[in-house]
Amino acid sequence: MSVATVSRALSRPELLREETRDRVMSIVDRLGYRPNLLARGLRRGHTRSILLVVPNLSPFFLEIFAGAEEVARQADFALLLGNSNGDPEREEACFDQVVSGRADGIILLTGLVPTAYAPGKRPLPPLVTVLERLPGRSVPVIRTDHRVGAAEATRHLIELGHRQIAHIAGSKHAPSTAHRLAGYRDALESAGLALSQDLIYPGDFTMKSGAAGVERLLSLGEPPTAVLCGNDEMAFGAIRMLHNLGLAVPRDISIVGFDDQNMAAFYNPPLTTVYIPRHELGRRAARELIEQLEGRDVAHEVILPTRLIVRESTAPPARRKPRAGRRRSA
Amino acid sequence: MSVATVSRALSRPELLREETRDRVMSIVDRLGYRPNLLARGLRRGHTRSILLVVPNLSPFFLEIFAGAEEVARQADFALLLGNSNGDPEREEACFDQVVSGRADGIILLTGLVPTAYAPGKRPLPPLVTVLERLPGRSVPVIRTDHRVGAAEATRHLIELGHRQIAHIAGSKHAPSTAHRLAGYRDALESAGLALSQDLIYPGDFTMKSGAAGVERLLSLGEPPTAVLCGNDEMAFGAIRMLHNLGLAVPRDISIVGFDDQNMAAFYNPPLTTVYIPRHELGRRAARELIEQLEGRDVAHEVILPTRLIVRESTAPPARRKPRAGRRRSA
DNA sequence: TTGAAAGCGGTACCAA
DNA sequence: TTGGTACCGCTTTCAA
């Protein structure tokens, strides 16, 4: 029996006589034979695998990964994970994976393309971005409207009666940061509330920065009665710090997060936050990329809705001004 | 100039005259040429990539991944992520990746080998396990001593004066569950405290099960004054439920977690827990596997120490019995 | 329906 | 130090 026959039994069984096919398969089973994917990929010119590039390994991105993996698996694609860790060099290495033939396309969660792939230099690999539109590029994007989500969350606070509403913003590098800030401003403006630069603290998405942010905001002459945080982590950090300062959430101050991580519902108190359909974001991204790889036309932009989830970290403002009480011993 | 020369310029530059090498490299740079990794892997017989297999995408495993990635990168290995999701079939598919030539070896975090690779069937790929020893196999393992860690945590509660100490155990499928339970028992026995099956709740590592567990334990005739949880997530769930029931931690009941996730220090209250050196576990695993792949001898077992981190979720028992108070409105 | 053989893009051996 | 070339394992065209 020739190698061609074995190859056909595995790849295009319909071309073989049933008897031949069975004979091959039984031997394959017995030997535990698995075709060499490198050779196959080399010959076929593609590997049926896609690379998802994240800027870090936070649970937020990993859930998008999980969604993408689900769709990829169904379509018989392998999903690889590339962690750029914010390093442009590593990001470029991820893109090179496609040039090197290890993957057929990229799902990009970092919001930026390596400079080596700037327009006019190397051509982009098959690409879909998630969360962030690529400026000046016509690359399909699956995203949510951060601005609308942030505005809705801010409006929730306004409707509760808050007037002094602060914002702890995310990392400057993330384009979503600007959009969430814009939504916060939109809501304040439509309510006729004054914007104050003092009420905006530049965080970096870490719990630590959330804690630092709220401490800083509290030191203001006119401290806020509510804070919209750029993500859940910073909200957790903020709440923790408030408790540490002897302040209770939401009694003394209301806190809103962004993302609705799994932990949000189980935090103490459960966090009011903006739900982002991470899983679906991943699913759609994988679907679009696979369509693209298979030569079909794809949507240029998909916008998935966010949703405000009201839990127990928000309430009407207290009568008296929130002031740091005795700092807890520990 | 021949292809052989280009190949050498990229793979073994020391074999070329400096001038030739520079000439090749300048053209490589200009063209953005990247060697095809499939062809290279096919020819060389290895890919310099290793696959890390996790049972799910929880932050716990991802931190081990991050540690392994660090070492892999330094050694110029790519680290792939395989998510078996508890499915034996997917687990087997991960092992097949090595047989298919996509990876050279496996770092296994699931604690079990697919049945297709049972002793006497297919030979195991180059393998290092993390956290769990493989029964009946001489596979290198990098682990911590869960039993000692759990005993230390339990002793901490005993020293605080607790006598009724419960345990919310992890998933039955994880071997660590049994070890942590054993450590809990060890400490109780050495302190001369009675063991009661009622005080052991079978959880599954989720926050939800932690919440259900503590609710159940509280309904006991003689409810516990402290609970050792099999991981941090269950501890968070437990604390949340307690607050929901109008009970405060640690005033009414003490809670200890296991793992020391990032969130532990920022939970409300900050969680007393057992630190597991996840990052180092990953680093060591990658290092051992790479050594093994390069034909060197490797340690058969590496045991890394755990460490009890005392924060604010534990305190001496209250005088009066903890009883569920008014259930909070929300 | 099956077999023979070319070729995917590199690497490494041998020769020059 | 460089070039020519066989070969890694598979797919696919062409011929039988």
Q: pLDDT at position A268, please?
A: 95
- Please report, rounded to a whole number, the percentage of residues in chain A having pLDDT higher than 70: 97
pLDDT (average), residues B305-317: 98
Q: Report which of A40, A105, A21 is spatially closest to residue A288, judged by C-alpha positions.
A: A105
Decide if A99 and B32 are in contact by the 8 Å CB cutoff.
yes
Task: Report chain C positions within 7 A of protein CB atoms.
Answer: 1-5, 7-13
Which DSSP helix (H) or strand (E) runs through A128? strand A127-130
In the structure, what pLDDT confidence band is assigned to residue B324 with cuts at 50, 70 and 90? low
Pick the CATH number of B45-139+278-305 from 3.30.70.890, 2.40.50.140, 1.20.1560.10, 3.40.50.2300: 3.40.50.2300
Q: pLDDT at position A66, please?
A: 96
Tokens coding B109? 């975090």
Rounded to whole angstroms, the Cα distance separating A127 from A69 reads 16
Task: Report chain D positions within 7 A of protein CB atoms.
Answer: 1-5, 7-13
Distance from the A38 Cα atom to the nearest Cα atom in chain B, whole angstroms: 5
Q: CA–C1' distance B38–D7 (Å)? A: 15
Distance from the A130 Cα atom to the nearest Cα atom in chain B, whole angstroms: 19
Residue B48 contacts A where some CB pair is shorter than 8 Å: no
Tens-place pLDDT, residues B248-265: 999 999 999 999 999 999
Which of B41, B97, B240 lies closest to A268 in CB terms? B240
Q: pLDDT at position A321, please?
A: 55
Which of B35, B262, B269 lies closest to A100 in CB terms? B35
Low-confidence ranges of chain A (pLDDT < 70): 320-330
Question: A54 contacts in B (CB within 8 Å)?
Answer: none
Comparing alpha-carbon positions, the chain A residue that sits nearest to B57 is A62
B194 strand D contact, CB < 7 Å: no
Residues 6+ apart with CB under 8 A from B1: B20, B23, B24
pLDDT (average), residues B105-117: 93
Q: Report which of A173, A113, A116 is spatially closest to residue A139, judged by C-alpha positions.
A: A113
Q: CA–C1' distance A3–D8 (Å)? A: 15
Decide if A243 and B269 are in contact by the 8 Å CB cutoff.
yes
In the structure, what pLDDT confidence band is assigned to residue B173 with cuts at 50, 70 and 90? confident
The ranges of chain A annotated as CATH 3.40.50.2300 are: 45-139+278-305, 146-271
Q: Report which of A185, A176, A164 is spatially closest to residue A203, judged by C-alpha positions.
A: A176
Cα–Cα distances in Å, from B182 out to B226, B258, B304?
17, 14, 18
Q: pLDDT at position B112, please?
A: 86
What's the CATH number for A146-271?
Answer: 3.40.50.2300
Distance from the A168 Cα atom to the nearest Cα atom in chain B, whole angstroms: 17
Which of B268, B312, B330 lies closest to A330 in CB terms? B312
pTM of the model: 0.92
Cα–Cα distances in Å, from B33 out to B17, B29, B44?
21, 7, 20
Comparing alpha-carbon positions, the chain A residue that sits nearest to B66 is A57
Q: Report which of A180, A190, A143, A198 is spatially closest to residue A273, judged by C-alpha positions.
A: A180
Tokens coding A108? 């990009």
Decide if B99 and A32 are in contact by the 8 Å CB cutoff.
yes
With 0-12 CB in 10 A as exposed, 13-18 as middle and 19+ as buried, what is B149? buried
Q: CA–C1' distance B60–C11 (Å)? A: 40
Tokens coding B329? 């409105």
Q: Peptide bond before B270: cis, by omega within 30 degrees of 0?
A: no
Q: CA–C1' distance B218–D6 (Å)? A: 75
Beta bridge partners of B103: none
The residue among A29, A38, A79 with the most chain B CBs within 10 A of its CB, best to mutate, is A38
In the structure, what pLDDT confidence band is assigned to residue B320 with cuts at 50, 70 and 90? low
Which of B34, B99, B266 lies closest to A99 in CB terms? B34
Helix (H, G, I), strand (E, B) or coil at A259: strand
The strand D neighbours among A residues 28-47, by Cβ under 7 Å, are 35-36, 39-40, 42-44
User: Could you tell me how far CA A25 lies from the centroid of its own chain?
Assistant: 43
Q: pLDDT at position A209, please?
A: 98
In the structure, what pLDDT confidence band is assigned to residue B299 with cuts at 50, 70 and 90? confident
Helix (H, G, I), strand (E, B) or coil at A278: helix
Q: pLDDT at position A319, please?
A: 75
Beta bridge partners of A53: A82, A108
Tell me the three-class secondary structure of B152-203, residue by residue: HHHHHHHHCCCCCEEEEECCCCCHHHHHHHHHHHHHHHHCCCCCCHHHEEEC
**Number of residue pairs across A and B with CB atoms under 8 Å?**
112
Question: Is residue B329 predicted with pLDDT exceeding 50?
Answer: no
Rounded to whole angstroms, the Cα distance separating A104 from B52 reads 21
Q: Which nucleotide is nearest to A8 (CA to C1')?
A: D11
Portion 214-253 of A in contact with B at CB < 8 A = 236-237, 239-240, 243
The CB density around residue A90, as the number of other CB atoms within 10 Å, is: 16
Q: Which nucleotide is nearest to A42 (CA to C1')?
A: C8
Q: pLDDT at position A323, please?
A: 54
Please tell me the number of Cα atoms within 13 Å of B183 on its side-chain side. Answer: 25
| C1' of nucleotide C3: residue with nearest CA | A2
Decide if A268 and B263 are in contact by the 8 Å CB cutoff.
no
Q: Report which of B266, B13, B257, B164 is spatially closest to residue A234, judged by C-alpha positions.
A: B266
Per the CB < 8 A criterion, the answer to whether A282 and A288 are in contact is no
pLDDT (average), residues B117-134: 92
Q: pLDDT at position A195, please?
A: 95
Question: B231 contacts in A (CB within 8 Å)?
Answer: none
Q: pLDDT at position B323, please?
A: 53
Which amino acid appears at position B301 of this protein? E
Tens-place pLDDT, residues B128-161: 999 989 888 889 999 999 999 999 999 999 999 9
